[in-house]
Amino acid sequence: MTQVTLIIAGMALVTYVPRLVPLITRSRRAPSRRQMRILRLVPVTAIGALLIPGSLTSVDGRIDLSLIGIAAAVILALTARHPFLVVAGSVGAVALSLALGL
Amino acid sequence: MRSTRGPVGVGLTILFGYFFIAIAFGAGGRAMGLPAVATAGFSVFVFAGASQFMALSLLAQGAGAIAVTLATLVLNLRHLVMSLALRERIHGSRVPRPILAFGITDEVFAATASQPGAIGDTDLLVTELLAYTGWVGGTVVGYLIGGLLPPSLERAMGIALYAMFVALIVPVLRRSPPCLAPALAAGLVNWGLQGLGVPVGISLLVSIPAVAVLFGFSPGWSPE
């Protein structure tokens, strides 16, 4: 238990500090247009990097099952709109594939 | 389709996504024999999905506290870039920044920063609280029902995190189709770096800002 408590405390600290420091410090001058353009690109590149390649091995390390889930998510995101359906439908498609013996 | 969502809509997207993933985390903690309080403690105090799963697998391999903490530091340093990208866009003085900082996860960042315009501090707090509710709630539920789920469903939950990222980026790409290029480029750079043996935390920390800078400076590319 002591070991786990230490790990939680250590992880909490090293996760919080990088989130905190930029928010409580100030830049000396307002960012330029180019800097704003770059900062606005960060969420896009972050999602791209978080999706590739991690998503490809997200179900038992298997590309085929992972692609079924991603394809279902893309189709649902384009049509169903409600995000809950995207997540639930994607999990459902993968679970169904597994249940069918893929 | 609406091109933007309010803070509640954004928060609910993340809440549902987190709930599924956190069920897998809670069930995993139980399967490893961790006490309920410890399993929930990870989600309550750390609130960082990928690193929590990593901690479980490192613990299972017998890693010590220092090793797990260092690995978490490397994996989560990317939030420095995200907080920096948010800093100039958060407006308002009703919510202390140290409170807002705790909730800046990948998904909270991606969902709020990809909306056009300024970000109100209370709006961000609402999104964060909904996300936190989904994460902590899912962890507790996962611990309680761990072992009762059909195995196919439990295995399928690995996709939930990525389905959520898809749900977050598709509206952005609808609003701004050229953004597909930087998104794909960042993914390919990240993939390439990992293929070269770069640890995933460092690879994310490098590929996310590097590709944003590349496209930010590219005269031939415009988000319109």
Residue B43 DSSP symbol:
I
Which site among A1, A34, A38, A50 would you substitute to test the B interface, given the most B Cβ atoms closer than 10 Å to its Cβ? A50
pLDDT for the residue A1: 56
Residue A30 DSSP symbol:
P
Instruction: For chain A, give every domain's residue range.
Output: 2-99
Give the type of residue at B10: V
pLDDT for the residue B4: 56
Position A98 confidence tier, pLDDT thresholds 50, 70, 90: very high
Residues of chain B with C-beta less than 8 angstroms from the C-beta of A38: 212-213, 216-217
Q: Does the pTM exceed 0.80?
A: yes
> Percent of chain B scored above 90 by pLDDT?
50
Distance CA B5, CA A91 (A): 23
List, for residues B104-142, the tens digit of each pLDDT value.
999 999 889 988 889 999 999 999 999 999 999 999 999
pLDDT for the residue B41: 97
- Search chain A and give the residue with CA nearest B209: A42
Which site among B166, B180, B215 would you substitute to test the A interface, given the most A Cβ atoms closer than 10 Å to its Cβ? B166
Question: Which of B102, B157, B216 is facing A37, going by the closest CB pair?
Answer: B216
Position A78 confidence tier, pLDDT thresholds 50, 70, 90: very high
Q: Does B90 touch chain A (CB under 8 A)?
A: yes
List, for residues B3-30, the tens digit of each pLDDT value.
457 889 889 888 988 998 899 899 889 9
Whole-number Cα distances in Å, B213 to A51, B83, B182, B210, B217: 19, 16, 10, 5, 6
Position B1 confidence tier, pLDDT thresholds 50, 70, 90: very low
Distance CA B141, CA B40 (A): 10
Query: What value does the mean pLDDT of chain A take?
Result: 90
Distance CA B196, CA B63 (A): 25
Residues of chain A with C-beta less than 8 angstroms from the C-beta of B223: 37, 40-41
pLDDT for the residue B210: 95
Distance CA B208, CA B153 (A): 32
Q: Does B122 touch chain A (CB under 8 A)?
A: no
Question: Which of A5, A38, A91 is facing B212, going by the closest CB pair?
Answer: A38
pLDDT for the residue B195: 95
Residue B2 has pLDDT above 70, yes or no: no
Question: Which of B76, B109, B208 is facing A49, going by the closest CB pair?
Answer: B208
Distance CA A68, CA A85 (A): 15
Question: Which of B68, B80, B85 is facing A10, going by the closest CB pair?
Answer: B68
Alpha helices by DSSP H, listed for chain B, are 7-31, 36-41, 49-60, 65-76, 78-87, 97-102, 106-113, 121-145, 151-156, 160-175, 180-195, 200-217
Q: Does A32 touch chain B (CB under 8 A)?
A: no
* Helix axes B200-217 and B65-76, enclosed angle (nearest 10): 10
ipTM of the complex: 0.88
Backbone angles phi, psi at B119, to 5 degrees: -115, 115
How many angstroms away from the CA of B83 is the closest CA of chain A? 6
List, for residues B68-114, the tens digit of each pLDDT value.
898 899 888 889 989 999 998 999 999 999 999 999 999 999 889 98
The end-to-end CA distance of chain A, in Å, is: 40
Instruction: For chain B, give every domain's residue range.
Output: 7-174, 176-224
Cis before A53? omega within 30 = yes
Contact A94 B156 (CB under 8 A): yes
